[in-house]
Amino acid sequence: MWPSSQRSLPWRRWYQPGVPADVGIPDVPVTRLLDDAAERYPRRPALLFLGRRIGYRELRTAVDRFADGLHRLGVQPGDRVALILPNCPQQVIAFYGVLRRGAIAVQHNPRYTEEEMLRQLADCGARTAVVLDRSYPTVRAVRGRLELEHVIVTSLIEFLPAVRKAALRLPLARIRRRRAAVVQDVPDDPGVVRFRDMQRPVRRHVRQLPVEPARDLAAIQYTGGTKGRPKGAMLTHRNLVANACQQKAWDPGGRPGQDVTLGVLPLFHSFGMMNCMIAPALSAGAVVLLPRFDRDRVLKAIRRHRPTIFPGVPTLYDQVLDSPRFRPSDLRSLRVFVSGAMALGQATIDRMERVGARELIQCYGLTEASPGVTGNPLGGGARNLTVGVPLPMTDAVIVDTEEPTRVLRPGEAGELVVRGPQVFVGYWNAPLATAQTLSKGWLRTGDIAVMDEEGFVTILERHRDMIKVSGFSVSPSEVERVLRRHPAVHECAVVGVPDPRRGERVVAHVVEHPAYPFSSDELRRHCERYLSHYKVPSEFRPRTDLPRNTLGKVVRQRLRDEDAGPAAWRE
């Protein structure tokens, strides 16, 4: 039987003073968070982007205009709208604008290959997409095999300050290189709409179309599956509002209308979506948006905007500390570092402590939980080699992997199973996978963990075979399928090995075909054609055979064991 909700929850005694055991979750759409912030703090900066300041009232106006533009294009409640953008104001405007129409936002990595883009766009069935000009060629190449009717194209320069825009209009001889790095020409293909045309003034207030927060979807977030096929996690408005409320409650020192979040994490990732877009709106906080990670640009942003919250992954923190321009005083304004998506090792913890970083907490989540599940307590109670304790209104147990209804005792390793208002409602177009993952409100995470008697959770192994590269999930099966297309590959197995900078790196073990010579460079170029850069193996190791069990299945664990040293999450 699943555990009773009346049982003792030992972790609550570790909640910081001011953190409630239960959180009131308003029955509202996600857009209400933005609307409330715009009413309470209309002039408060919502977004700070490369010198451009966008206040909450201005942001809401842009969202309303975009929603009205979607209405003119015929977008209806329940339609999926693909967002293929890096961190920029257009990403935020489009996300809330889609939700304002009662439609569903489906975010994609703008650096996806044609194959990756085709697979996700076909699965979600989007008829409208919002695309960065640099990503348009990829969408254009696959559009003939999709039902995309409208493609809204934008450029990073559209929301630059007027001074910087003027600089881009200087004589071509002076700006050729700079302009080429910022904007690309887009053909006038059928159905192509410019983002600026979606910002026409409207004379009336654009109302939120009715939604049932507990039932209607706000977003479909694709997550890497252990079978190699990314699945779309269906997140309702209530899921996202609940997780924002849980995270706000976890930080009783938060300052509504004053906090500044450093938005380095990609918004298309569930971690970035929640911590750098939705949760800040709940507290009317400002977000410093950076289109991509560059350690010197991050330091410049810290010195200029003095952020108070830095959500990130350990590799980001390490790279900032590695910069020759870094000074410990750079971190003076930051009061919370929220580390997630990959294991936080002792070396990074020690480095952060030496430079005076305050309140570094390791947290745990997964896309299917919007994503936050556990967190280390603030106020000096962090045990950062664990992922902390369950957030308010979240329950967690460790169960037997073979008999998941049997709850294990403290200290015994098994599968982490959780439930709470942030847990998703299922996978898009995948009822079998949903049934295998959800049971009576409990989510099987697939992660192997232990919980001690005080409720602190330690992750031993994440999805067993899944690889975490700088916080991004890489499915070994997906990489293996690409490799097997090459004539040189007779058999292959892909694993992750510890890496001091990225957490893990991808390594391919390849049994070459006897009639085709093995070439690492050729295989790398082959993978780069079909896979995003972080999925491409960093090393191709030739082998005569692969280790298998008695059923003939390749045992990836034996390949991992060949690499010296424990995995990052076992430190």
* Model pLDDT, residue 552: 58
Domain stops at, among 183, 210, 237: 210
Mean pLDDT, all residues of the chain: 90
What does the pLDDT average to over 261-273? Answer: 96
Distance CA 376, CA 386 (A): 8
Q: What is the model's pLDDT at position 493? A: 93
Among candidates 532, 535, 525, 475, which has minimal Cα distance to 505? 535
Say whether pLDDT at 300 is over 90. yes
**Does residue 235 lie within any of the structural domains?**
no
Phi first, then psi: what are they for 104, rounded to 5°?
-120, 125
- Residue 565 included in any domain: yes
What is the model's pLDDT at position 6?
57
Q: Is residue 406 a contact partner of residue 417, using CB atoms and an 8 Å limit?
A: no
Alpha carbon 499 to chain centroid, angstroms: 21
Please indicate, yes or no, if residue 512 is contained in any of the structural domains.
yes
pLDDT digits (tens, 9 = 90+) for 71-119: 999 999 999 999 999 999 999 999 999 999 999 999 999 999 999 999 9
- CATH code at position 175: 3.40.50.12780
- DSSP labels, 412-474: --EEEEEESTTS--EETT-HHHHHHHEETTEEEEEEEEEE-TTS-EEEEESSTT-EEETTEEE
pLDDT band at 568 (very low <50, low <70, confident <90, very high): very low
Give the pLDDT score at 71: 96
Residue 177 in any domain: the answer is yes
125 belongs to a structural domain = yes
Looking at residue 551, what is its pLDDT?
45
Question: What CATH number does residue 493 fall under?
Answer: 3.30.300.30
Q: Find, among 504, 503, 498, 497, the residue nearest to 556 by Cα.
A: 497
Whether residue 184 is predicted with pLDDT greater than 90 in this model: the reply is no
C-alpha–C-alpha distance, residues 112 and 84, integer Å: 9
The amino acid that residue 331 corresponds to is: L
Is residue 532 a part of any domain in this protein?
Answer: yes
Tokens, residue 448: 């192997």
Domain boundary among 210, 231, 256: 210
What is the residue range of 471's domain? 467-570
Return all residues near 176 (Cβ < 8 A) that are at least 6 apart. none
> What pLDDT, in 10s, does the model give residues 44-63?
999 999 999 999 999 999 99
- The residue among 194, 95, 117, 206 whose CA lies nearest residue 150 is 194
**Total domains in the fold of the chain:** 2
Of 473, 453, 416, 448, nearest in space to 570 by CA: 448
Cα separation, 309 vs 336, in Å, equals 5
- 121 belongs to a structural domain: yes
Quick check: bond before 371 cis, omega within 30? yes
Q: Classify residue 483: in a domain, yes or no.
A: yes
Q: Do 168 and 189 contact (CB within 8 A), yes or no?
A: no
Judged by DSSP in three states, 566 sits in: coil
pLDDT digits (tens, 9 = 90+) for 535-546: 999 999 999 999
Q: Which residues of 499-521 are buried (b: 16+ CB within 10 A; e: fewer)?
A: beebbbbbbbbbbbeeeeebeee
Q: Is 452 exposed, middle or buried (0-12, 13-18, 19+ CB in 10 A)?
A: middle
Name the pLDDT band for 68 (thresholds 50, 70, 90).
very high
Strands 309-312 and 336-339: parallel
Residue where one domain finishes, among candidates 175, 210, 245: 210
Distance from C-alpha of 165 to C-alpha of 203, rounded to nearest angstrom: 28
